[in-house]
Structure 1
């Protein structure tokens, strides 16, 4: 059982929860101070949101591996995944998806009424992404929307509403994710062409993909600036937006220099971005609270 859990954790790349996890924390910090949450209530909300994020992401990744299994078998980059080589059975993967979906709905119910009402639509969006590349090159943006739901979920958990600033934050996440997913998909450009999949690299080529990715990252920074303005954040938060811009420029430079840098740009640079941005927001809100 322990070995199966390890394999499932590897399959869904559980450590990459940090990408969306940092932004749900940003939403919790800003919303928590606006709502004047007490310590105990804040810890309880944080715990429930962390559980919801874990269940939602596990469901999304597990479902994606189920839906894409026939492609993963053929792809040289993915043919050794546990869901393909037999280490994880289809039955186990299906049970894993159902269990995490039920867990997400249950935790959403425990958070508040709005979170519960949104839980099934959220799951539908997460599942729908897995089929987008079969008929639309907007799949990259849909993936961005999936991760952009994280800060929305965080603010719903605290405020029970969706303020404008949280939409700007979520849109920033959506275009940030779409931008780095475009870069990551360059690795499968030829495979996607062979299989008739609608990724941007397969349809429009590598150079166009690079330009679209840059445009997405510019939009991400602009939306995060709107988030800082709409949430009435201070100078430290604005400095954080500027640092995020520098990180994204570095990411784009890495890939432009050599496509072999894509894994480094994807896994390392993007992991730092969320942590760094959260740090600036925490300091900014801490100074405002003092």
Structure 2
């Protein structure tokens, strides 16, 4: 039993389960807007399962492919995929099981969700390859999480709405923007290993400007989402609060690089939650 508990802890560390907080709120934001309120317990459960299996697949696949890279990076050398706590076979089985789980969940959602399941897995798995030959990998990572709102709308209405695309593009630039800041920690390692990232290609100052541009685009597309979806006052407040939080994030990183983790985890984690709560308020008080 103790070995099993330890294995669960190791897998939790492998996929960094707590990072699910970045994608979950925007799935349910889209579902709430699409359903114009509560969408039912069945879709709640299926939505959570879809989000978790998709993310576990993406992280497991990434860790499986990146064993050689992580072993050469001082920041990642103690990860379970490197230090032997989880074997390559275990990672492969974990990744494969979550891919099947995601497809199975999609089957129980609706036909369109099932048709899109494999293409979505291909997109979210491609990040691991892109960073080996293109600095656009940051946008691929953003797109992977940006698909969450579209998936939420598909689950509720079995269609893809224009406002969900706008919301998703905003999420894509949001994630890509904070991934750029997070990647500043690995700029020297990326150069040494020949990995393609915006920080290693353009340097620190340009990377921070690009991140600011990405986050400005985030706010713009979320404003467009609020307008096109005919949302109420609280959603516009959510966009304004998000803009303030992103500004604070850049202020923290500009002032002290050692606080990148704080900006990455704390601020971005709360941003999604605050946005979700305000969307719920918009439905209640509309």
Alignment of 1:7-86 (within 5 A): 7-33=10-36, 42-86=40-84
- Offset at residue 285 of structure 1 (A): 1.3
Q: Which runs of 5 or more residues in structure 1 are unaligned?
A: none
CA distance in 1, matches of 2:64, 2:23: 22
TM-score of the pair, normalised by structure 1: 0.96
Kindly state the Cα deviation for residue 208 of structure 1 after the two structures are TM-superposed. 0.3
CA distance in structure 2 between the partners assigned to 1:181 and 1:215 by the alignment: 13
Q: SS of the residue aligned with 2:40? A: helix
Secondary structure of the structure 2 residue equivalent to 1:74: coil
Q: For 1:51 and 1:32, locate their aligned partners in 2 and report how far apart those are by CA, in whole Å.
A: 19
Q: How many Å separate the matches in 2 of 1:61 and 1:128?
A: 11
**Contact 1:134–1:198 under 8 Å retained in 2:** yes
The residue that corresponds to 1:247 in the other structure is 245
Matching residue of 1:285: 283
**C-alpha separation between the residues in 2 aligned to 1:200 and 1:275?**
28
- Residue of structure 1 equivalent to 2:232: 234
Moved over 2 A (4+): none
Displacement of 1:42 in angstroms is 1.1
Distance in 1 between residues matched to 2:222 and 2:12, nearest whole Å: 31
Shift in Å at residue 2 of structure 1?
2.4
Conservation of the 8 A alpha-carbon contact between 1:28 and 1:46? no
Structure 2: runs of 5 or more not aligned: none
User: Counterpart of 1:205?
Assistant: 203
Quote the offset at 1:236 in angstroms. 1.3
CA contact (8 A) 1:152 1:166 kept: yes
Is the partner of 2:179 in helix, strand or coil? Answer: helix
- CA offsets 1:230-274 (integer angstroms, 9 cap, x no match): 110011110110000000000000000011010000010100100
Q: How many residues align?
A: 283
TM-aligned CA deviation for residue 5 of structure 1: 1.5
Measured in 1, the distance between the counterparts of 2:120 and 2:202 equals 30
Alpha-carbon shift at residue 47 of structure 1 (Å): 0.6
